[in-house]
Amino acid sequence: MTHAPVVDVLKGKYAVGEQVTVKGWVRTRRDSKAGLSFVALHDGSCFDPVQVIALNSLSNYQDVQRLTAGCAIAVVGSVKESQGQGQALEIEASTIDVVGWVENPDTYPMAAKRHSIEFLREYAHLRPRTNVIGAVTRVRNCLSQAIHRFFHERGYYWISTPILTASDTEGAGEMFRVSTLDMMNIPRTDKGDVDYSQDFFGKETYLTVSGQLNVETYCNAMSKVYTFGPTFRAENSNTSRHLAEFWMIEPEVAFADLADVAQLAEDMLKYVCKAVLEERADDMAFFAQRINKDVINRLEKLVKSDFVRMDYTDAIEILKASGKQFEFPVDWGVDLSSEHERYLAEEHVGAPIIMQNYPKDIKAFYMRLNDDGKTVAAMDILAPGIGEIIGGSQREERLDVFDERLEKMGLDKEDYSWYRDLRRYGTVPHAGFGLGFERLVAYVTGMQNVRDVIPFPRTPGNASF
């Protein structure tokens, strides 16, 4: 007999009267005076659990009456039209096998009641059994599948870029060092520096902060590529938007400029949000009810309307004219902080903004210098409720301009020799961006903190599970 996912039973894949086996975990159990029990069983395949009816004629009915939240069971039964309100279909059990008991129900942390999201974080191994984390997980999966589909349909190749690297892509020094040196007995050079020649890779190595520099090499050969993988930042930011380990999607396009990748980012966001609305209506209804009532409306609006494009210089004027008292003062040349981004996206525009052409001094070394000599062809996409979700740019493809920039920023040419080669051998204009995956999932679901949209969050002081 088929082992049926709950989603198939509820969607009517099996005829009324047909025998099915369902397996999963008990969410709740309710006994009626008429001598039967109703068990809500979930298996993660969709938001709703299926209702299982257990009659007291079952040989192990006493076991059924001991079922508590979290017990694992296997049910054989027939599909029935439901008498009660709510679901159309349920299962009348002919057998219920208890696969795994909950040892002591009083100590089971995921008992069927509403827990705070902070409480759930303490139980990263059990929280996927809750409604909220189950819904986040399905939406996260839907988004990542849609991202791959989007790029595949447009002829992009997925490139696996390395996790271990010697390059600091962002030049911000926020890297986790990877070393095989004996910490109790660190080898030193004559000058007293750490002697990395004795380390595994023969030089200082880190966890990558971005796959961009690597993916640029493939872009300069395969034309349209992207990387999608984990990235790491040792920035000590204890905020609701920062993780030490997060996933990033980084497309890179040859013969393209900033406007081209801004459009690509807009198309991609619309495509993946549409996929969630179509494929995860059950989970989105839950988020709208429990987390943020506007969450479906704003996705529908995003899918339908053009993104606003705004120059950094104009944004500064808007912020100055807003009459708001910002904690961080606004002036041309400052980096926009989260309060500025939020004001612009939430109050001024009320929809995602593509912010472009930032001052060169606040942006990374690889961004293409604009003709004004002051700004670079960079863009950030700011979303209401979360702020920056995408950062991207046209890359500096002119070797002389690039070298000048490296020198001004005090970076060593030698460290970028292979990257410079791309500018020496058949250089082309190219551009790309990085989408912070957890920020996207948070935006789509309305979840307030990126720690709750990644299975095992890594933040300062937290890498236990």
Interacting residue ranges for ligand 4AD, rule: CB under 6 A: 169-170, 210, 212, 233, 235, 242-243, 246, 248, 250, 388-393, 432-434, 436, 438-439, 450
Question: Closer to ligand 4AD at the Cβ: 67 or 450?
Answer: 450
Pairing assessment for the beta strands 50-55 and 36-42 based on DSSP bridges: antiparallel
Residue with smaller CB distance to ligand 4AD, 343 or 433? 433
Residue with Cβ nearer ligand 4AD (47 or 246): 246
Q: Which is nearer to ligand 4AD, 73 or 254 (CB)?
A: 254
Considering the complex, state which of residue 146 and residue 355 has its C-beta at the smaller distance from ligand 4AD.
355
What is the C-alpha to C-alpha distance for residues 309 and 219, in angstroms, rounded to an integer? Answer: 26
Alpha-carbon gap, residue 133 to 457, rounded angstroms: 13
Q: Which residues pair with 29 in a beta bridge?
A: 39
User: How much is the CA Rg of the chain, to the nearest whole Å?
Assistant: 27
d(CA 252, CA 432): 4
Instruction: Report the nearest approach of ligand 4AD to the CB of residue 451 (Å).
Output: 10
Q: How far is the CB of 324 from ligand 4AD (least distance, A)?
A: 23
DSSP secondary structure string for all residues of 300-326: HHHHHSPPEEEEHHHHHHHHHHT----
State in angstroms the smallest separation of the CB of 39 from ligand 4AD: 40
Residues written for the chain: 465
CA terminus-to-terminus distance, the chain:
37
| Tokens standing for residue 415 | 């460290």
Q: How far apart (Å, rounded) are the C-alpha atoms in residues 93 and 74? A: 10
Q: How far is the CB of 320 from ligand 4AD (least distance, A)?
A: 24
The least distance separating ligand 4AD from the CB of residue 43, rounded to whole angstroms, comes to: 31
β-bridge mates for residue 79, sequence order: 91
Which CB atom, from 197 or from 337, has the smaller least distance to ligand 4AD?
337
CB of 76 to ligand 4AD, least distance (A): 45
Rounded CA-CA distance 153/135 in Å is: 27
Backbone angles phi, psi at 129, to 5 degrees: -80, -10
**Which residues have C-beta within 8 Å of that of residue 107, sequence separation ≥ 6?**
none
Q: How far is the CB of 387 from ligand 4AD (least distance, A)?
A: 9
Contact 211/432 with Cβ under 8 angstroms? Answer: no
Least Cβ distance, residue 287 to ligand 4AD (angstroms): 20
DSSP structural state of residue 160: -
Question: Which residues fall within 8 angstroms of residue 104, CB to CB, at 6 or more apart?
Answer: none
The DSSP code for 127 is: G
Closest to ligand 4AD by CB, 5 or 392: 392
Cα 326 from chain centroid (whole Å): 29
Report the residue closest to ligand 4AD, judged by CB: 436
Beta carbon nearer to ligand 4AD, 52 or 269: 269
Output the smallest distance, CB 353 to ligand 4AD, in A: 13
Nearest CB to ligand 4AD, comparing residues 170 and 396:
170
Task: Work out how close the CB of 248 gets to ligand 4AD at its nearest, in angstroms, rounded to a whole number.
Answer: 5
b/e sequence 208-218, b meaning 16+ C-beta within 10 Å: bbbbbbbbbbb
CB of residue 361 to ligand 4AD, shortest distance in Å: 16
Long-range contacts of 415-421 (CB under 8 A, 24+ apart): 415/166, 415/167, 416/167, 418/217, 419/167, 419/213, 419/216, 419/366
For residue 422, what are its two tokens?
A: 């791309």
- C-alpha distances (whole Å) from 275 to each of 141, 152, 228, 304 are 11, 15, 18, 13
Tokens of 441: 């999932």
Residue 9 or 442 with smaller CB distance to ligand 4AD: 442
**Burial state string for 48-77 with b = 16 or more CB within 10 A and e = fewer than 16:** bbbbbbbeeebeeeebbeebbbbbbbebbb
Nearer to ligand 4AD, 39 or 450 (CB): 450
Whichever of 49 and 434 has its CB closer to ligand 4AD, that residue is: 434
Least spacing, CB of residue 329 vs ligand 4AD, in Å: 23
